[in-house]
Amino acid sequence: MARVPAPYDVLIAGAGPAGVIGALSAARAGLRVLLIEARAEVDTGHTCLVEVECGVFARCDVPAPSDDELIFVQKGSYLLTPAGFPALVVMGHPLHSFQLRRVLRRFLGYAKAAGVEMLFEQTAAPLVEGDRVAGVVLRDRRGREREIRARLVVDATGHAAALLSRLPERLGLDFVDRPEDHVLAQSRLYRLDRERAAAAAAQGRFFDGYSHHQIGTQGAYSTLGYFVSVERGVAFLLSGIQEPYTPPSNDEVLDQLADRLGFLTDEVFRGGNPIRIHRAGARLVADGFAAIGEAASMVIPSHASGIASGMLAGHSLARHAAEILRDGGAATTANLWPWLAAYQRGRGAVLATYDANRRFLQTFDPERDIEPLMRYGIMQPEDMAHTLTAEPLSISPATLPQRLWGMRKAPLTGLRFLASGPKTLLVHRHWLDFPREWNERSFADWKKLADRLLP
């Protein structure tokens, strides 16, 4: 095996959104960066359509998707009960909807212009020396291996968690990968017969320009969604199911939905992948190492998207690493800890409360519990709106009359809904107490309670 003395400041494995934004931000901060990707450059990024909070792009110092990159613009979102009743509507849409691969190629262009070096069709395994991650062992498609060293190695490999999942336990990083914490997602984009689609909209079969999300179609944590724009001539279909609740599969569910709509023509693309919805690992840094994005389970559990979280984490980690490395410092656990603490006490705390709610709602029966929860207004549009942009859960005074009326209509469901509140508050408060500085004993005490609250 060849050994290459590469004086990289940062080596990032994974050229998805988290990895590319991290590499771009690190290079802009004056660091020497190597970005590694297992796929060919033309295959980088999922083909599926994704939605990302509009404000994330400015926070990561990159232009938002342009008009020709956006697949559609939504007027709002309808949330449908398991029986199909349109119970909630959120006006406006704080997310950009685009095909990931197209925008990611633009970001790769920015990274190249900033000086990021790139290697494609290379798989990586962690190179560990003592208690430090010193680099990676690369393997090309011919099976040839070589070592590349870096002062900081970042796992941004998405669901695979190719580095994090292979680190020895003595480094203290936790990686949870259980079947019950996976959701299988698939999306499709179609062209449509505008005349037939317009007629269907006029008949009230769907709301033109609005997304439709039917909850609890296959188990409590499942969704069947679609968006139709007669003006743009496109229809987007989405199915998300936890594996224990299949069959039918996503393919079968979306085939049935396409047939039911009755006006779809050519399929433009389809894409799908499993997504890990467990809350982020408690410890995501070690000497010479950090994990970001879905590799670190930085996913919004309520709708199983980790792209915005990964982009923000990649950007903030790069800026923090630059402050350390430019002054000759080392990427030790102690030096990387303030970045991790900022994440856990901020967005991580919000997503941990979402995970607590997700686990609680998974115990609900769709027909007996979720149907009245939505139909009678115990759940309100603001609950959905908060989760779209990763805002802390809260109940506004204006919604209390409707919620209380709904609880009188369905008292048992209302009591179960209220029962989730204390634990959610406890989880949020505990994540806000994440240790600001690295101290092995303090962290062990914090993690012990975190694992009891959210195993």
pLDDT (tens digit per residue) in 344-361: 999 999 999 999 988 898
CB neighbour list of residue 137: distance below 8 Å, 6 or more residues apart: 1, 124, 125, 126, 127, 145, 146, 147
Buried b (16+ CB within 10 A) or exposed e, 145-159: eebbbbbbbbbbbbb
- Give the three-class secondary structure for 69: coil
Rounded average pLDDT over 3-8: 63
The confidence score (pLDDT) of residue 46 equals 55
Q: Residue 22 contacts by C-beta under 8 Å, 6 or more apart in sequence?
A: 10, 12, 154, 156, 292, 313, 314, 315, 317, 318
- Is the model's pLDDT at 455 over the cut of 70? yes
Would the pLDDT of 182 be above 90? no
Confidence of residue 202 (pLDDT cuts 50, 70, 90): very high
Q: What percent of the chain has pLDDT over 70?
A: 97
The alpha carbon of 318 is separated from its chain's Cα centroid by a whole number of angstroms, namely 19
Q: Would you call 126 helix, strand, or coil by DSSP?
A: strand
* Predicted local distance difference test score (pLDDT) of residue 95: 84
What's the CA gap between 294 and 280, in Å, rounded? 9
What's the pLDDT at 42?
61
Handedness of CA 288, 293, 296, 300 (dihedral sign): positive
Question: Are the C-beta atoms of 141 and 121 separated by less than 8 Å?
Answer: yes
Q: How many other β-carbons are positioned within 10 Å of the β-carbon of residue 134?
A: 18
Q: Average pLDDT over the chain, rounded to whole?
A: 92
Between CA 70 and CA 275 the distance in angstroms is 23
pLDDT at 386: 87
Query: Which of 300, 416, 394 lies closest to 354, judged by CA?
Result: 300
Q: How confident is residue 442, by pLDDT bands cut at 50, 70 and 90?
A: very high
Distance CA 155, CA 133 (A): 11
* DSSP reduced 3-state for 148: strand
Secondary structure element (H or E) that encloses residue 258, with its range:
helix 250-261
Q: Among 151-155, 163-167, 244-248, 427-431, which stretch is predicted with the lowest mean pLDDT?
A: 244-248
Q: Is residue 102 predicted with pLDDT exceeding 90?
A: no
Q: Return the pLDDT at 377.
A: 94
For the segment 411-436, the average pLDDT, to the nearest whole number, is 93
Quick: pLDDT tens for 273-331: 888 888 888 999 999 999 999 999 998 877 778 899 999 999 999 999 999 999 899 99
Q: pTM of this prediction?
A: 0.93
pLDDT in tens, 395-406: 999 999 999 999
pLDDT at 400: 95
Average pLDDT value for residue range 352-375: 92
Instruction: State how far the alpha carbon of 220 is from the alpha carbons of 150, 362, 427, in Å.
Output: 44, 5, 22
Q: What is the pLDDT of residues 136-155, one digit of tens each?
A: 999 998 999 999 999 999 99
pLDDT at 45 over 70: no
Q: Is 392 exposed, middle or buried (0-12, 13-18, 19+ CB in 10 A)?
A: exposed
pLDDT at residue number 246: 75
14-28, 346-360, 429-443: least confidently modelled range: 346-360
**pLDDT greater than 90 at residue 385:** no
* Tokens 């001539």 found at: 233
